[in-house]
Amino acid sequence: MDIIFIQGLKTQAIIGIYDWERENRQPLIFDIEMSVPIKSAAVSDNIQDTVDYKQVSDEMIKLVENSRFELLESLCETMCQQILSHHPAVQKIQLKVSKPQAVAETDTVGLIITRTR
C-alpha cells in the first residue's frame, strides 16, 4: 500500500476541558498519512483515481474550525471517519495531532491514532 501524506496542517479550534480552552481558539497541527493504492492513478494520470490531498486538507480545516470537542480523541475519531467515508480509496489512516499550547512546560502534546477500513 502506498502513502499519501499531509504534514504540518495548521488550524485552530475550540478544544479542551478547561474554561480558558472553551473561550479561546488554540492552534492544532496535524500529520495525516493515508494508505491508498496509487497504481491506477499512476497509469491514468487522473486525480479521480487517487486522493486529492488539497481537498482532504480543506475538509479537515473546515471540520476542525467548526468543531467544539472537549477531547482530542473525539476530534481525531471524527476526522478519520470523515476521511474514510468521503474518500473510498483510503484504506488506512494514521492521524497525529499536536496541541502546542496545552501544557506550558512542553513543546507540544498530542495524540496519534490509526484507523482502517
Could you report how far apart the first and last alpha carbons of the chain are, in Å?
13
Q: For the chain, percent helix, then strand, then coil, each to nearest 5?
A: 35, 35, 30
Catalytic residues: 99
Residue written as cell 474554561?
19
Can you read off the three cell numbers belonging to residue 91?
A: 484504506
